[in-house]
Amino acid sequence: MSSPLRLGIAGLGTVGAGVVKIISRKQELLAARAGRPIEVTAVSARSRDKDRGVDMSTYGWENDPVALARRDDVDVFVELMGGEDGPARNATEAALAAGKDVVTANKAMLAHHGQALAMAAEDAGRVIRFEAAVAGGIPVIKALTEGLAGNEITRVMGVMNGTCNYILTRMEAEGLGYNILFEEAGKLGYLEADPTLDVGGIDAAHKLALLASIAFGTKVDFDGVELEGIEQVTLEDIRHAADMGFRIKLLGVAQRSGRGLEQRMRPCLVPASSPLGQLEGGTNMVVIEGDQVGQVVLRGAGAGEGPTASAVLSDIMDIARGDRISTFGQPASGLVTPIRAQSAVAAPYYLRMELEDKPGALAKVATVLGDSGVSIDRMRQYGHESSSAPVLIVTHKAARNAVDAALEALPKTGVVLGTPVALRIEAV
Please give the residue ranges that form the binding site for its own copies (CB under 8 A): 18, 22, 26, 29-30, 32-35, 131, 137-139, 142-143, 146-152, 217, 273, 275, 278, 290-301, 306-307, 309-314, 316-318, 321-326, 329-331, 334
Residues in the chain, total: 428
**In 10 A of CB 125, how many CB atoms?**
10
Instruction: Give the integer Cα–Cα distance in Å for 78 and 316.
Output: 9
Binding residues: 10-17, 107, 192
Would you call 297 helix, strand, or coil by DSSP? Answer: strand
Instruction: Give the integer Cα–Cα distance in Å for 377 and 398.
Output: 11
Q: Which is nearer to its own copies, 121 or 138 (CB)?
A: 138
Instruction: Give the integer Cα–Cα distance in Å for 193 and 195.
Output: 6
Q: Which is nearer to its own copies, 128 or 422 (CB)?
A: 128
Terminal-residue alpha carbon distance, the chain:
47
Contact predicate 156/287, CB 8 Å: yes
Binding residues for NADP(+): 10-17
Which residue, among 242, 207, 262, 284, has the nearest Cα to 423 in the 3D structure? 242
Which residue, among 422, 408, 301, has the nearest Cα to 353 in the 3D structure? 422
Q: Which is nearer to its own copies, 146 or 243 (CB)?
A: 146
Instruction: Give the integer Cα–Cα distance in Å for 207 and 412.
Output: 39
Instruction: Give the integer Cα–Cα distance in Å for 289 and 275.
Output: 14
Give CA angle at 310 (306, 315), nearest 5°: 155
Instruction: Give the integer Cα–Cα distance in Å for 110 and 365.
Output: 45
Minimum CB–partner distance for residue 82 and its own copies (Å): 20
Minimum CB–partner distance for residue 218 and its own copies (Å): 12
Instruction: Give the integer Cα–Cα distance in Å for 314 and 132.
Output: 9
Q: Which is nearer to its own copies, 147 or 195 (CB)?
A: 147
Instruction: Give the integer Cα–Cα distance in Å for 42 and 335.
Output: 35
Q: Which is nearer to its own copies, 334 or 418 (CB)?
A: 334
- Residue 230, CA distances (Å) to 173, 341, 397 in order: 17, 23, 23
Enzyme catalytic residues: 207
Give CA angle at 395 (401, 410), nearest 5°: 60
- Residue 164, CA distances (Å) to 86, 154, 178, 305 in order: 27, 26, 10, 19
Minimum CB–partner distance for residue 310 and its own copies (Å): 4
**What are the φ and ψ backbone dihedral angles of 53, each rounded to 5 degrees?**
75, 10
**What are the φ and ψ backbone dihedral angles of 270, each rounded to 5 degrees?**
-130, 155
Helix H segments across 26-97? Answer: 27-34, 65-70, 87-97
